[in-house]
Structure formats: C-alpha cells, structure tokens
C-alpha cells in the first residue's frame, strides 16, 4: 500500500504549482504536471486537450487563490481532489467578482509520479 500522506503532499504540491503558473503567467509551470494526453473543461465550458493546449490557457488579466480540498483515492494509482478558487489581485489580495470556482482534478500515478489527467472547472456563487 502506498504512503497516502506522501501522496497527498505530492498531489497538493502539483495544485500549488498550477496556482503559481497561473498567477505568474508561466505556461510551462501551469502545464508541467498535466499528462501529455489530458483533458480540462474551463468554467466557460471550453474543452482543452493535451499538455500543449494547457500551456495556452493562461489568462493575462486574471489572478486567483487556490485552497486545496480533500484528496480521495479511488485506487492505488488514481485520486481526485477539489480545489476551491477565488479571484485575487496580482498581489494575492481577495477580489469580489460575484463568483468563485471549484476545480475537480483527476490524478493518475505514472512511473514519473502523479500527473493531472483531467480537470473540470465549475463557477459557484459564494
């Protein structure tokens, strides 16, 4: 059986890197932990497929704070996690834009470690 505490730390570190890539406008960092063949659906309903396409998804005028939720393991090599996302300034201060977002991540463990294989973003009212 895998060390779940270590797995949780690794998964949360991936989401933290995603947040840093988003806020630093660094497409390589944003997409680094996505599997080459991966999928995401944005809060606007736009489907994105593949790591290369993920690198193109860095909006120039948006910043956010991510709060990772519980990591649930669906097997030894598959996990899901919610991240609760709120708008922020470039300095990380909260901004009220009338909504927040929940990201649902799906992770799979490969020979190189955990990777994001899918992500679904959903707008929610705070």
Kindly report the CATH number assigned to the domain that includes residue 32.
3.10.450.50
DSSP states of 79-122 as a string?
EEEEEEEEEE-TTS-B---S-EEEEEEEEEEETTEEEEEEEEEE
pLDDT at position 1, please? 57
Q: What is the pLDDT of residue 55?
A: 92
Residue 118, class by beta-carbon neighbours within 10 Å (0-12 exposed, 13-18 middle, 19+ buried)? middle
Q: How many residues does the chain have?
A: 126
What pLDDT does 98 receive? 86
Q: Give pLDDT tens digits for 43-68.
A: 889 999 999 999 998 888 999 999 99
Name the residue range of residue 18's domain. 4-124
What pLDDT was estimated at residue 87?
Answer: 94
Residue the block writes with tokens 């909260």: 94
Q: Please name which of 81, 67, 1, 74 lies closest in space to residue 33, comparing C-alpha atoms.
A: 81
Count how many domains the chain has: 1
Please list the pLDDT of the chain residue by residue as tens digits (126 residues).
Answer: 568 999 999 999 999 999 999 999 999 999 999 999 999 999 889 999 999 999 998 888 999 999 999 999 999 999 999 999 999 999 999 999 888 999 999 999 999 999 999 999 999 986
Q: Which pLDDT does position 15 carry in this prediction?
A: 97
C-alpha distances in Å from residue 41, one per residue of 28, 54, 68, 75: 19, 10, 18, 24
């Amino acid at each position: 059986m895998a060390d779940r505490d270590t797995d949780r730390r690794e998964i949360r570190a991936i989401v933290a890197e995603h947040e840093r890539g988003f806020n630093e406008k660094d497409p390589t960092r944003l997409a680094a932990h996505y599997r080459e063949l991966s999928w995401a659906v944005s809060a606007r309903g736009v489907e994105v497929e593949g790591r290369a396409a993920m690198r193109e998804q860095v909006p120039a005028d948006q910043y956010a704070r991510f709060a990772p939720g519980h990591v649930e393991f669906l097997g030894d090599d598959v996990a899901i996690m919610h991240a609760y996302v709120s708008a922020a300034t470039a300095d990380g201060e909260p901004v009220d834009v009338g909504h927040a977002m929940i990201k649902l991540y799906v992770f799979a463990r490969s020979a190189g470690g955990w990777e994001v294989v899918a992500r679904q973003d959903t707008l929610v009212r705070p």
